[in-house]
Structure 1
């Protein structure tokens, strides 16, 4: 019995280490590009993507590399995507970097290193967060959720 436990522990450890690889591989499924309408856009020298309506479009955005701020907008108990969010990103109070209207449900942004305030508004309800963007390649993920599904 002791032998079985010592044998199972390394198997469990290997399984846990491989789990992120398996999850990541599932998001690399083929995309029907005919259903994808997303193109990089720019505002104030900041490049961003906004969209994700439909499975192919959301997978396309999620597979895009080089964006260091990833935002997801969802509503209701089922966490359904919503695409009616106004977004304001500020480097410092009063120093607006990016303003988007009716964005989402996914917004990916390429920002210079620094600390940013992010305000997401939907139906008059604001959600706020801070994104500390480093010089490394890791993206900062923000999820904004509203309880109502209006």
Structure 2
């Protein structure tokens, strides 16, 4: 019996040490999308996803492929995701190609290659960014507002 106790203590210690590793591995697993309502949408021939409220929905969007512009909207010192942003994506000549209301906190868009200006507005406060979108890798734009929710 003394030998059994001597063996159980090291096994228990190894099990406790492995627990955090097992938790991290579980969080990297793909999300079961069956309960997540992220729908592919289209406007003017442009395909996009908008959502990301809740961890499962955010992970589901982040695991999608085929979108060459990824936008994230956040507010405050905690960088809290926000879902109430108006977005206009314009071609270089200023012609709008996609206009969204109350979008986010994540918006993924499939655009034809080219240069675009993105205007993201929240509570009347606009943020602008310009990007070249291609077919190779996705461009990531982060729009952040200071202050409270």
- Structure 2 partner of 1:119: 119
Q: TM-score, normalised by structure 2?
A: 0.79
Pick the structure with greater CA Rg. Answer: 2
For 2:126 and 2:98, the matched residues in 1 are separated by 16
For 1:28 and 1:145, the matched residues in 2 are separated by 26
For 1:120 and 1:62, the matched residues in 2 are separated by 20
- Structure 2 partner of 1:51: 51
**How many angstroms does 1:60 deviate by?**
0.3
Change (3 A) 1:93 1:149: farther
Deviation sequence 1:110-141 (CA, Å, 0-9, x none): 000000000000000000001201232x0000
Q: TM-score, normalised by structure 1?
A: 0.78
Q: 3-state DSSP class of the match of 1:64?
A: coil
1:30 correspondence with 2:30? yes
Report which stretch shifted further, 107-116 or 90-99.
90-99
For 2:143 and 2:59, the matched residues in 1 are separated by 19
For 2:30 and 2:53, the matched residues in 1 are separated by 17
- Structure 2 partner of 1:61: 61
Deviation sequence 1:81-109 (CA, Å, 0-9, x none): 00000000000343110000000000000
Point out where structure 2 has 5 or more consecutive residues left out of the alignment.
1-24
Q: 3-state DSSP class of the match of 1:57?
A: helix
Q: How many residues are matched?
A: 125
For 1:27 and 1:70, the matched residues in 2 are separated by 22
Point out where structure 1 has 5 or more consecutive residues left out of the alignment.
1-24
For 1:133 and 1:87, the matched residues in 2 are separated by 17
Structure 1 ranges of 4+ moved more than 3 A: 25-28
Change (3 A) 1:54 1:129: same
User: CA-atom RMSD, angstroms?
Assistant: 1.6
